[in-house]
Copies of this chain bind each other. A is one copy, B any other.
C-alpha cells in the first residue's frame, strides 16, 4: 500500500488524505515539544539553528492556513541536467507550506523494465522514440548538440530535477529552510516486480577509481542494479546483477561509447547480465536526495553536477528523513528543485554514482527573511548547511562558489581544478566561521574546538567540485548558559 506518496497508486487520494492527517498530528507534536523545551515559538527541534525568536518572527510572515502541495515527476514538471533562474516555476508555495515532491533517478534507463515500465510519470520523462524525447534538453550545453553531438544539452549536467518550486516572498539574501519530513522509495510499477524498488550504481568514467583498475579489461564501465524493499520492511539493499557498458545507440541514432548522456535506454540484448554478484551482501539503506538546490544567480544555465553555494548536487547521504537544510537564496522565489534520489551511498561516492533510485520526499519549506537574520545563527549564511537531530554540518567544496571564482569558463574549468585538499580548506573555513558567529567563539577557541571534536569526511570526489563536510555535535554546546 502506498502511504499517500505514490502518485501511481489507484487509491492515491484516499491514502494521501490519511498521510496528511498523520503529518498534521506529527507537526502538532513537534510544535508542542518545541514549545515545552524552548519555552516559546517552535523550531524543528529544541536546538535548531532557528532559535525560538527567529522561529516566531518567520512564522509571523506565514499565512494563517498552511497548504499541502503535491508535485509529481512528469515530462511537464522536471528539468533535466541543469539549474536555471530562467525556469518557469512548476508550483508556487508560501513559507510554512508542505510539499511532496517526486524525484526520478536519471539512471532508470539502465533497466527500463525495473525502473520505468508501467510508471506513467517515469514513462513520460523517459519517452524517447526516433521522433521525439519526453524531455529533450538534458544538460546545460547547447540545445542543438553542436559541441559534442551527444544530444540536446550535451549531458553537461545529468540529474532529473523536479521543480522549480517558487517560494512566495523569497528574495536574494534570505535563507530557505528545507525540512525533510519523509522519504520513501518509488515502488516499481511493473507487476513482474511488485513490492520492490530498484536502483542503479554506475562505476563510470568520471569515477575516482576509473584509471586505477587492476583487472582486465582495464578500461570499463560497470552498472550494478540493486533491489530495495519498497514496503520498508528491510533496511538493506541487495545486488540483482551487473553488466559492462557497451556502446549504446540511442533512438535518434547517436552512439554512446561511454556513459556520456543521461537517459540513453540500455539495450539489454547488447550486454551480458551477470546475476551472480555480491551474493548475500546487505547494503545498508540510507535514502537521501543527492540534489536539493536553489537556482544560482551567476548564470542562466548551470550544469547540475557541481555543487555550489546554493546547494545542488551535494551528495551527502545524511540529507535524508529528519534532516534540515539551510540554503542562501540567490534569486527571487528561491526556485527550489529536487533530484538525484539515492537509496544509499558511502562518503566519497567513489565510483561515480550512488544506488540511484527514485524516491519521493515530503518537505516543509520555511523562509527566513534577511531583515530578520541579524543576531541569529543564519545571519550572513553563504553556503548550504545541514542540521540533523544531533549534529550540524558544513559543506566545503574545492571552490565555495565556483561560478564566481572561476570566471567565464567556470562550468568547464571546475572539472580540472578540484582536490580534496581544497575542499578540506573550505570546510575548515566554514566551520570556523560557523563557530565564531553562531557560538561567539574567538578564532583560537574555534580552531581548538574544531581540532578536538569536529570530524571531517569526504563527501564526494566525483561531482566536478569535490566536497568535504565537517560535523560537529550539538551536545558539545548543551552545557552553555
Instruction: List chain A positions with a Cβ less than 8 A from chain B.
Output: 201, 203, 207-209, 212-215, 222, 224, 226, 237, 239, 242, 277-284, 344-355, 419-421, 424-425, 428-429, 432, 441-445, 447-458, 461, 468, 473, 475-481
Which partner residue on chain B sits nearest A214 by CB separation? Answer: B443
State how many angstroms separate the Cβ of A418 from the closest Cβ of chain B. 9
Minimum distance in angstroms from A26 CB to a CB of chain B? 30
Q: Contacts A208-B424, A353-B451, A428-B208 given; indicate if A346 touches B281 (C-beta within 8 A).
A: no
> In whole angstroms, what is the CA distance A349 to B215 when docked?
36
B478 touching A442 by the CB < 8 A rule? no
CB-CB < 8 A to A449: which residues of B? 278, 281, 283
Is B468's CB under 8 angstroms from A215's CB? no
Residues of B within 8 A of A354 (CB): 451-452
The smallest C-beta distance from A396 to any residue of chain B, in angstroms, reads 11
Residue of B nearest to A243 (CB): B444
B281 touches A345 (CB 8 A): no
Beyond A280-B479, A282-B477, A284-B473, 13 additional pairs, beta carbon < 8 A: A201-B451, A203-B448, A207-B447, A209-B428, A279-B481, A281-B480, A282-B476, A347-B455, A348-B424, A351-B448, A353-B451, A421-B461, A456-B457
Residues of B within 8 A of A353 (CB): 451
A242 to B441 CA separation, bound complex (whole angstroms): 13
Q: Report whether A478 and B445 are in contact in the complex, using a CB–CB cutoff of 8 Å.
A: no
Chain B residues lying within 8 Å of A212, measured Cβ to Cβ, are: 425, 428-429
CA distance A201 to B457 in the complex (A): 21
How far is B480's CA from A437's CA once the two chains are assembled, in angstroms?
49
- A473's nearest neighbour on chain B, judged by CB, is B284
Q: Are B215 and A443 in contact (CB under 8 A)?
A: yes
Instruction: State which of B209, B444, B451, B476 has its C-beta within 8 Å of the C-beta of A349.
Output: B451
Q: Which secondary structure dominates where chain A touches chain B? A: mixed
Which of A224, A242, A419 has the most chain B CB within a 10 Å cutoff?
A224
Interface centre among A347, A451, A456, A476 (most CB of B within 10 A): A451
Query: Is B481 touching A280 in the complex (CB atoms < 8 A)?
Result: yes
Which of A344, A432, A453, A477 gathers the greatest number of chain B CB atoms within 10 Å? A453
Q: Which listed residue, B279, B283, B346, B451, touches A455 by the CB 8 Å rule?
A: B346
**Contact with A345, one of B420, B452, B468 (Cβ below 8 angstroms):** B452
**Given that A201-B448, A280-B477, A424-B461 are contacting pairs, would A346 and B453 also be in contact in the complex, using a CB cutoff of 8 Å?**
yes
A447 x B479 contact (CB < 8 A): no
26 of the cross-chain contacts (CB-CB < 8 Å) are: A201-B451, A207-B451, A208-B424, A208-B425, A214-B443, A222-B448, A224-B444, A237-B452, A239-B448, A278-B445, A280-B477, A280-B480, A280-B481, A282-B477, A283-B476, A284-B476, A346-B451, A346-B454, A346-B455, A349-B451, A350-B447, A350-B450, A351-B448, A353-B451, A455-B457, A457-B458
Q: How far is the CB of A410 from chain B (nearest CB, A)?
A: 21
- Determine which of B214, B278, B445, B456 lies in contact with A448 in the assembled complex, contact meaning CB atoms within 8 Å: B278
**Alpha-carbon gap, A442 to B224, bound state (A):** 13
The 3 tightest CB contacts between A and B, nearest first, are: A280-B480, A347-B455, A420-B420
A215 to B444, CA, bound (A): 9
Residues in B whose Cβ lies below 8 Å from that of A346: 450-456
A203 lies within 8 A of B447 (CB): yes
* Interface contact A456-B350, CB-CB below 8 Å: yes
